[in-house]
Copies of this chain bind each other. A is one copy, B any other.
């Protein structure tokens, strides 16, 4: 991958460092995922043997620049909704102990041009609420439940 991991003390490099601290699992619930640097970090974790699971939005996963196809090709498990509404979450959970969530979609445009917030929370109560939501969505979007010809 020609895209280097970000260096220095930018918001993006701090986000990448938090992700790369994962040792066992990374659960991602992302409306939109087109930022190459963040995809590279996720790919790297997968290669290190961290269990990566990714849930995304069906309408946005096929947009130009989406990294979802590349991550699937690398062997990362991806599931998506099959509804007309958006799967609009944008959070990550590192090792079931650190929640990273906010307004930021994982796109280059958002990182470079927008006013955004990202919260990093290790309080168990908040982490559990998001982990529970992740597990619900992960099961709900199991391909075994897809209805192609309703």
Contacts and interface: CB of A to CB of B under 8 A. Distances in A.
Interface of A: 31, 81, 83-91, 101-104, 109-110, 112-117, 119, 126, 130, 133, 137
Given A88-B104, A91-B103, A119-B126, 20 more contacts: A81-B115, A84-B113, A85-B109, A85-B112, A85-B114, A85-B115, A86-B113, A86-B114, A86-B115, A87-B114, A88-B103, A88-B110, A88-B114, A88-B115, A89-B117, A90-B103, A101-B102, A101-B103, A101-B117, A103-B103
B130 A117 contact: yes
A83 B91 CA distance: 26
A112 B85 CA distance: 8
B113 A89 contact: no
21 contacts: A83-B113, A84-B113, A85-B113, A85-B114, A85-B115, A86-B110, A86-B115, A87-B115, A88-B103, A88-B114, A88-B115, A89-B115, A89-B117, A90-B103, A91-B103, A101-B103, A101-B117, A101-B119, A115-B137, A117-B133, A119-B126
A1 to B, nearest CB: 26
Given A85-B114, A89-B117, A103 B31 contact: yes
